[in-house]
């Protein structure tokens, strides 16, 4: 069977100012959703009048033209998803399983659960694919010797899950879960409630920020979190910087080096060797337009109309310098977004990761485990609530392990359902 690796949507056209956060969010969403789109930067009154008959101040950019001829003015990502037909109401009143998050772990759980006859709803608050969607080329996932882009891998998994009958409810945050009479009632950000017998939390991690003053004002206006897959083509002939020394930073640097004049990796530690996989480290070192600066951290951001410069500090000497650049990509890992667990009986570790299975000390008064049996391997401190992938304490932060845990969680869901 041949697999179509993009959504079956013709070209979407996006127009906007180069340093516009909303335009970036749209490009990022379309790119991670594997939708073919074109991007036209509109930065002068002349260009804007030529295209839309109005000067910049009146044109209500960004403008998005959809394949059906609809023109959207300054739309949110949610509005675009809705217009593309991706936002649907739940079909059932109750599901066997609700999965939070459609990254590799959530998609894998969806494929196995749906293929094994469970009714499944997958809640995803933005693009399908999670962190994997930011990866330009995953080279260490089994079965793809030439590598595969994270977006394509996720799109294959999405198609597989939907083919087996999983229901994907996109642009929905699972905000709050309540346990009533052996059922989980999940309230979504749009006010809908979903009822299910069991849940798998596969919400991964969120980008860690630099923690700098004015950081928020530069997001999407020169400052990007993640590998910048959608932004790489806009870096033509620029000097760009990547913060981080892990695999995601290495991948970002390699991808950006195909477009940018020069890519500088800023690493806080003394070398790349301890943080980067060998295959990637070798490539990064060999790439002529990638420079690696160790013992360096970013301490400030500057620019009136988007990012124009970054301030750097030598971590050994404290010496400061300023580098001129319009693009900074931050790949310094992530933290789990599990604030929802506050005030519930779900046990987390000190970093917010969900504690599961044998890591739960059921003899401790702080672990409110109510049953005679021990928790199943991926079960949280709430019976019937499982965790898989990066959100789980002590998980291996890899696509393969997230996929493995998603599949494994479903086995335990079956065992749990058999006991209720």
Kindly list the residues in this chain that would bind ligand FAD in the complex (CB under 6 A).
Answer: 100-106, 123-126, 130-132, 134-135, 138, 140, 173-174, 202-205, 226-227, 247-248, 251, 337, 389-390, 397-400, 402
Question: In the complex with ligand FAD, which residue's Cβ is closer, 124 or 326?
Answer: 124
Encoding tokens for residue 45? 């009154």
Q: Is 341 helix (H, G, I), strand (E, B) or coil?
A: helix
Nearest by Cα to 109 from 29, 202, 207, 246: 202
Question: In the complex with ligand FAD, which residue's Cβ is closer, 183 or 397?
Answer: 397
Question: In the complex with ligand FAD, which residue's Cβ is closer, 66 or 137?
Answer: 137
What count of Cα atoms within 13 Å lies in the side-chain half-sphere of residue 418? 7
**How far apart (Å, rounded) are the C-alpha atoms in residues 97 and 116?**
12
Q: Nearest distance from residue 56's CB to ligand FAD, in Å? A: 33
Beta strands in 288-387 (DSSP E): 290-293, 296-302, 309-314, 320-324, 327-330, 334-336, 385-387
Question: In the complex with ligand FAD, which residue's Cβ is closer, 265 or 402?
Answer: 402
- Cβ-count burial of 338 within 10 angstroms (0-12 exposed, 13-18 middle, 19+ buried)? buried
Question: In the complex with ligand FAD, which residue's Cβ is closer, 174 or 303?
Answer: 174
Q: Nearest distance from residue 59's CB to ligand FAD, in Å? A: 31
Question: In the complex with ligand FAD, which residue's Cβ is closer, 42 or 102?
Answer: 102
Q: Is 348 helix (H, G, I), strand (E, B) or coil?
A: strand
Contact 242, 249 (CB under 8 A): yes
Question: In the complex with ligand FAD, which residue's Cβ is closer, 114 or 402?
Answer: 402
- Cβ-count burial of 150 within 10 angstroms (0-12 exposed, 13-18 middle, 19+ buried)? buried
Provide the greatest CA pair distance for the chain: 73
Question: In the complex with ligand FAD, which residue's Cβ is closer, 20 or 378?
Answer: 378
Q: Is the dihedral of CA 268, 270, 274, 277 positive or negative?
A: positive
Question: In the complex with ligand FAD, which residue's Cβ is closer, 21 or 172?
Answer: 172
The pairing of strands 262-266 and 334-336 is unpaired
Question: In the complex with ligand FAD, which residue's Cβ is closer, 129 or 303?
Answer: 129
Q: What is the DSSP code string of 125-186?
A: SS-TTGGGGG-S-B-SSTT-TT-B-HHHHHHHHHHHHHHHTPEEEES--EEEEEEETTEEEE
Nearest by Cα to 310 from 223, 225, 209, 217: 223
Q: Nearest distance from residue 101's CB to ligand FAD, in Å? A: 3
Contact 104, 134 (CB under 8 A): no
Question: In the complex with ligand FAD, which residue's Cβ is closer, 74 or 189?
Answer: 189
Q: Is 266 helix (H, G, I), strand (E, B) or coil?
A: strand
Q: Nearest distance from residue 359's CB to ligand FAD, in Å? A: 17
Nearest by Cα to 99 from 174, 156, 32, 206: 174
Angle at which helices 150-164 and 21-32 pack, to 10 degrees? Answer: 60
What count of Cα atoms within 13 Å lies in the side-chain half-sphere of residue 140? 14
- Closest-CB residue for ligand FAD? 204
Q: Nearest distance from residue 336's CB to ligand FAD, in Å? A: 9
């Amino acid at each position: 069977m041949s697999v179509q690796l993009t959504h079956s949507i013709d070209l979407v056209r996006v127009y906007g100012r180069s340093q516009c956060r909303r335009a970036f969010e749209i490009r990022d969403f379309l790119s991670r959703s594997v939708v073919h789109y074109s991007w036209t930067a509109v930065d002068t009154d002349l260009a804007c009048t030529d295209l839309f008959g109005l000067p910049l101040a009146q044109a209500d950019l960004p403008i998005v033209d959809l394949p059906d001829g609809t023109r959207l003015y300054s739309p949110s990502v949610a509005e675009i998803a809705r217009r593309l037909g991706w936002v649907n109401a739940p079909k059932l009143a109750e599901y066997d399983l609700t999965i939070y998050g459609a990254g590799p772990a959530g998609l894998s759980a969806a494929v196995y659960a749906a293929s094994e006859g469970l009714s499944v709803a997958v809640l995803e608050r933005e693009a399908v694919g999670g962190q994997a969607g930011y990866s330009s080329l995953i080279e260490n996932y089994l079965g793809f010797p030439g590598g595969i882009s994270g977006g394509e891998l996720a799109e294959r998994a999405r198609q597989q899950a939907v083919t087996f009958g999983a229901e994907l409810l996109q642009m929905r945050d699972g905000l709050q879960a309540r346990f009533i009479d052996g059922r989980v009632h999940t309230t979504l950000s749009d006010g809908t409630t979903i009822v299910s017998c069991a849940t798998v939390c596969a919400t991964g991690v969120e980008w860690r920020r630099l923690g700098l003053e004015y950081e928020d004002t530069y997001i999407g206006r020169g400052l990007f979190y993640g590998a910048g897959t959608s932004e790489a083509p806009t870096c033509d002939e620029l000097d760009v910087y990547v913060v981080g020394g892990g695999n995601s930073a290495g991948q970002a640097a390699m991808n950006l080096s195909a477009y940018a004049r020069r890519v500088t990796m800023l690493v806080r530690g003394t070398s790349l060797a301890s943080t980067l996989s060998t295959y990637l480290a070798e490539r990064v070192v060999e790439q002529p337009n990638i420079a690696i600066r160790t013992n360096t951290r970013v301490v400030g951001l500057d620019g009136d109309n988007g990012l124009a410069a970054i301030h750097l500090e030598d971590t050994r000497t404290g010496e400061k310098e300023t580098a001129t650049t319009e693009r900074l990509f931050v790949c310094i890992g992530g933290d789990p977004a599990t604030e929802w667990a506050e005030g519930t009986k779900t046990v987390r570790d000190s970093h917010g990761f969900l504690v599961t299975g044998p890591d739960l000390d059921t003899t401790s008064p702080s672990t409110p485990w109510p049953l005679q049996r021990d928790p199943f391997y991926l079960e949280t401190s709430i019976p019937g609530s499982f965790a898989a992938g990066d959100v789980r304490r002590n998980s291996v932060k890899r696509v393969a392990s997230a996929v493995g845990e998603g599949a494994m969680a479903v086995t335990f869901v079956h065992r749990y359902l058999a006991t209720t």
